[in-house]
């Protein structure tokens, strides 16, 4: 199988390039793209990428496979390979550190901006802050995000304004804290999102939904935030 | 750096609302005009001129003109702040975006004054 990999070593290369490998894929089972990367590393130990859990939990191996973002460790070849060819590139839109490793700083900066922690100004109870099962259910489809950045780096609005548009991952988490019954900073959170960029740069393209390896729906969460902002304004 | 000082209201919520409301105004106006032309396929100059000399039509047209300008400003501002950035067009991005916004503004002002002159001119 022809594997084409994005290569860039800032110490040596002036520009990035695609390197082709001809790889013998062992039969018998459907390999994951991460397995292919491991096989490549045996051929050429300088091929760089991140990975840790190899089971879709840690979110470190987000890459672009034949044009679509996803986690290499849980993406089977049968799903992405077209006419016996696989191109692997780093997540688009972020600066490349080396090969498939990107600098996630801008992504985390946006995450920080939405204050991803519970804020509660009421005196803490002796044990813990309780939540009804119904209120807890509201967090389903939000808390599962593993911050892999597949969605945000597939979003054109984030490519154009990565310093101002929070992006789908950050906004999904913003909503997660906005609707948490234990959080009392709703007003403060909404005030921080009402400018023309943070939320309103979302154009509803839904690239984020189509790539999320966890099957989450940032576009829907963004719609909820927009409604909260509108309600607050009128 | 892209900033929001030139956005229509400097607030995402009101920009968003203004864009939706103005879209509705423009849509209703278009439907009314198209319907009028469908029912009066062979419209004469006199009929056309009478239509536009009625106060409601003048107010409606002016409203639509203003709505179009506001709508287009928000839209063009968004296009400019998406695509005319240092990232895409190089160091001159800020100057380019400023000229682009100035150009848009000029076009809208011309449309507005021209429209008012047509509406309240002497035919
Ligand atoms: S729906 Fe919004 S956040 Fe998701 S990819 Fe599109 S513009 Fe980005
Ligand atoms: S929403 Fe999905 S794609 Fe986006 S960071 Fe979270 S898990 Fe990854
Ligand atoms: S290696 Fe952890 S998500 Fe793929």
Neighbours of A233 (CB within 10 A): 14
Supply the range of the domain harboring residue B53.
12-120
Full-model pTM = 0.91
**What does the mean pLDDT of chain B come to?**
91
Q: For the segment B71-110, what is each residue's pLDDT rounded down to a tens digit?
A: 999 999 999 999 998 878 888 888 999 999 999 999 999 9
Q: Is ipTM strictly over 0.90?
A: no
Q: Which residue of A has its CA nearest to B13?
A: A194
Look at the alpha carbons of A37, A42, A47, A52 in this order and tell me if their dihedral is positive or negative. positive
CB contact under 8 A, A160 and B11: no
Share of residues in chain A with pLDDT > 90 (%): 97
Contact A200 B16 (CB under 8 A): yes
Residue identified by tokens 């005009």 is B33
Question: Could you tell me if residue B95 is inside a domain?
Answer: yes
Q: Which residues of A touch B15 (CB under 8 A)?
A: 196, 200
Asked if the structure places residue B5 within a domain, the reply is no
- Using alpha carbons, select from A216, A65, A213 the residue that is nearest to residue A141: A216
B6 within domain boundaries: no
Q: Does residue B1 lie in a domain region?
A: no
Q: Which atom of ligand 1 is nearest to the CA of A209?
A: 4
Q: What's the residue count for chain A?
A: 234
Q: Is the CB of A119 under 6 A from ligand 3?
A: no
Is residue B98 included in any domain, yes or no?
Answer: yes
Mean pLDDT of all residues in B5-33: 92
Residue B7 domain-assigned (yes or no): no
**Contact (CB<8Å) A200/B15:** yes
CATH number of the domain to which B38 belongs? 1.20.1300.10
Q: Is B3 a domain residue?
A: no
What is the whole-number distance in angstroms between the Cα of residue A51 and the centre of ligand 2?
A: 16
Cβ within 8 Å of A, B 20-39 = none
The domain total for chain B is 1
Tokens 């009478």, residue? B50
B53 is a domain residue: yes
């Amino acid at each position: 199988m022809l594997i084409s990999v994005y290569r860039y070593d800032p110490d040596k290369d002036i520009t990035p390039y695609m390197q082709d490998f001809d790889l013998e894929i062992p039969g018998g089972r459907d390999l994951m793209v991460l397995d292919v990367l491991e096989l490549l590393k045996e051929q050429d130990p300088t091929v760089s990428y991140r990975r840790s859990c190899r089971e879709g939990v840690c979110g470190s191996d987000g890459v672009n496979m034949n044009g679509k973002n996803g986690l290499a460790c849980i993406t089977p070849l049968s799903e992405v390979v077209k006419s016996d060819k696989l191109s692997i590139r780093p997540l688009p839109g972020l600066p490349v550190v080396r090969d498939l490793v990107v600098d996630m700083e801008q992504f985390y900066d946006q995450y920080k901006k939405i204050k991803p922690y519970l804020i509660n100004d009421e005196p803490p109870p002796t044990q813990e802050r309780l939540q009804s099962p119904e209120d807890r259910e509201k967090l389903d489809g939000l808390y599962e995000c593993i911050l892999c950045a597949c969605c945000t780096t597939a979003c054109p609005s984030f490519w154009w304004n990565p310093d101002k548009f929070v992006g789908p991952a950050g906004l999904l988490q913003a909503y997660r804290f906005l609707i948490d019954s234990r959080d009392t900073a709703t007003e403060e959170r909404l005030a921080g999102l009402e400018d023309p960029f943070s939320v309103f740069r979302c154009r509803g393209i839904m690239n984020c939904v189509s790539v999320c390896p966890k099957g989450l729906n940032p576009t829907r969460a963004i719609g909820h935030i927009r409604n909260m902002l509108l309600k607050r304004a009128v | 750096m892209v900033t929001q000082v030139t956005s229509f209201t400097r607030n995402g919520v009101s920009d968003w609302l203004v864009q939706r409301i103005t879209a509705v105004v423009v849509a209703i106006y278009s439907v009314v005009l198209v319907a009028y032309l469908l029912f009066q396929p062979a419209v004469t100059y006199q009929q056309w001129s009478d239509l536009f000399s009625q106060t409601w039509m003048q107010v409606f047209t002016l409203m639509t003109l203003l709505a179009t300008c506001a709508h287009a400003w928000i839209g063009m501002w968004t296009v400019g702040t998406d695509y005319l950035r240092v990232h895409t067009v190089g160091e001159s991005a800020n100057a380019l975006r400023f000229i682009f916004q100035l150009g848009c503004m000029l076009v809208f002002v011309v449309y507005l004054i021209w429209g008012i002159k047509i509406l309240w001119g002497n035919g």
